[in-house]
Structure 1
Amino acid sequence: MYIFNATMQANLSDSRSSKCIMKITLKLALLACSIISTACAVGPKYNSPTTQTAPEWYAALPHNGKTTDLVNWWQSFSDSSLTRLQQAAELNNPSIAQAVARIDAARAASGATNGNMLPTINGSASQTRNNGDDGSDIARRSRLGMIDASWEIDLWGGLRAGRRASDAQLAARTMEWHAARTSIAAEVAQTYVAYRACQAQSAALQSDVVSREETARLTDLLVHAGFNAPAESYLTDASAATGRQQQVAMAAECDLSIKSLVALTGLSESETRDILAKNAGIQPRAPEFTLAALPVDIISQRPDVAAAERTLAAASAQINVTQAARLPRLALLGNISFFGIQLSGGAPQASGKSWSFGPSLSLPIFDAGQRAAQADIAKAGYAEALANYKQVVVSAVKEVESTLITLDAAQKRLRDAHTAKDKFDKYFNASLARQRVGSVSLLELEDARRNKLSAEQNLINLKREYTTSWIALYKAVGGAWLTQTQQS
Structure 2
Amino acid sequence: MRAIIAMSALLLAGCSLNPPLSKPALPVPAAYHDATGDNSASAATLPDWRQMLADPALQRLVELALENNRDLREAALNVAAVQAQYRIQDAARLPALDATGGGTRQRASSADAPNGAVTRQTSAGLAVNAFELDFFGRLRSQSEAAFARYLASVEGQRTARLALIAAVADAYLELRLAEEQAALTERTLADWRLALSLTERLHGARQRNGLDVAQAAGQVATAEADLHARDRARRLARNNLELLLGAPVPQALPAGLPLAQQPVMTTLPAGLPSELLTRRPDIMQAEQALVAANAEIGAARAAFFPRVSLTAQLGLGSAEMGSLFQGGNRSWSFAPQITQPIFQGGRLRAELKLTEVRNHLAVVQYERAIQTAFREVNDALASNQTYQRQIVAQQRVVDAAALRERLSNLRYGAGQDSRLELLDAQRQAYAAQSALLDLRRDHFKSAIALYKALGGGVS
* Alignment of structure 1 residues 337-356 onto 2, 5 Å: 337-341=315-319, 352-356=329-333
Q: Per-residue displacement from partner, 1:462-481 (whole Å, max 9, x unpaired)?
A: 10011000000001111123
Partner of 1:220: 200
1:413 is displaced (CA, Å) by 0.5
Is the 8 Å Cα contact of residues 335 and 357 (structure 1) preserved in structure 2?
yes
Match of 1:81 in 2: 57
Change (3 A) 1:394 1:77: closer
CA shift digits 1:437-476 (9 cap, x unpaired): 3222211111000110111011101100110000000011
Q: Supply the distance in 2 between the matched residues of 1:126 and 1:299 (Cα, whole angstroms).
A: 58
CA distance in 1, matches of 2:243, 2:358: 36
**SS of the residue aligned with 1:70?**
coil
* Number of residue-to-residue matches in the alignment: 450
5+ residue gaps, structure 2: none
Q: CA deviation at 1:290?
A: 3.4
For 1:84-123, list aligned pairs within 5 A.
84-123=60-99
1:268-307 pair list within 5 angstroms: 268-269=248-249, 271=250, 274-275=252-253, 278-279=255-256, 281-283=258-260, 284-307=262-285
8 Å CA contact 2:61–2:245 kept in 1: the answer is yes
Partners in 2 of 1:328 and 1:371 — Cα distance? 13
TM-superposed CA distance for 1:298, in Å, is: 3.1
User: Deviation digits for residues 287-317 of structure 1, max 9, x if unmatched?
Assistant: 1343244222235421111100110010000
Instruction: Classify 1:138/1:440 alpha carbon distance in 2 versus 1 (closer, same or farther; 3 Å).
Output: same
> Given the alignment of the two structures, is residue 191 of structure 1 paired with residue 171 of structure 2, yes or no?
yes
The answer to whether the Cα contact below 8 Å between 1:62 and 1:291 also exists between their aligned partners in 2 is: no
Is 1:428 matched with 2:405? Answer: yes
Contact 2:99 2:125 in 1 (8 A): yes
Q: CA deviation at 1:49?
A: 3.1
Pairing 1:143–2:122 present: yes
* Structure 2 CA distance for aligned equivalents of residues 288 and 296 of structure 1: 22
The separation in 2 between residues aligned to 1:287 and 1:76, in whole angstroms, is: 5
Match of residue 45 from structure 1: 20
Cα distance, 1:208–1:62 mapped onto 2, change above 3 Å: farther
Alpha-carbon deviation of 1:114? 1.9
1:56 to 9, 31, 37: 31
How far is the alpha carbon of 1:410 from its aligned partner? 1.1
Q: Deviation of residue 135 (structure 1)?
A: 8.9
What is the CA-CA distance between 1:382 and the residue it aligns to? Answer: 0.8
Could you tell me which runs of 5 or more consecutive residues in structure 1 were left unpaired when the two chains were aligned. Answer: 1-20
Take 2:37 and 2:246, find their aligned partners in 1: how far apart are those partners?
35
Deviation, structure 1 residue 434: 2.5
CA contact 1:199–1:280 (8 Å) conserved in 2: no
How far 1:138 moved relative to its partner?
Answer: 7.3
Find the residue that maps to 2:319 and give its secondary structure: strand
Query: Counterpart of 1:144 in 2: which secondary structure?
Result: strand
| Cα displacement (A) at 1:232 | 1.4
Corresponding residue of 1:165: 145
Are the structure 2 counterparts of residues 232 and 135 from structure 1 closer, same or farther at C-alpha, using a change threshold of 3 Å?
A: farther
Partner of 2:240: 260
**8 Å contact from structure 1 (residues 325, 371) kept in 2:** yes
Please give the TM-score of this superposition, normalised by the length of structure 1.
Answer: 0.84
Instruction: Give the whole-Å Cα distance in 1 for the aligned partners of 2:119 and 2:359.
Output: 62
Are residue 238 (structure 1) and residue 218 (structure 2) matched?
A: yes
TM-score, normalising length: structure 2? 0.89
Percentage of pairs with the same residue = 25
Give, in whole Å, the separation in 2 of the partners of 1:379 and 1:311: 13
Partner of 1:11: none
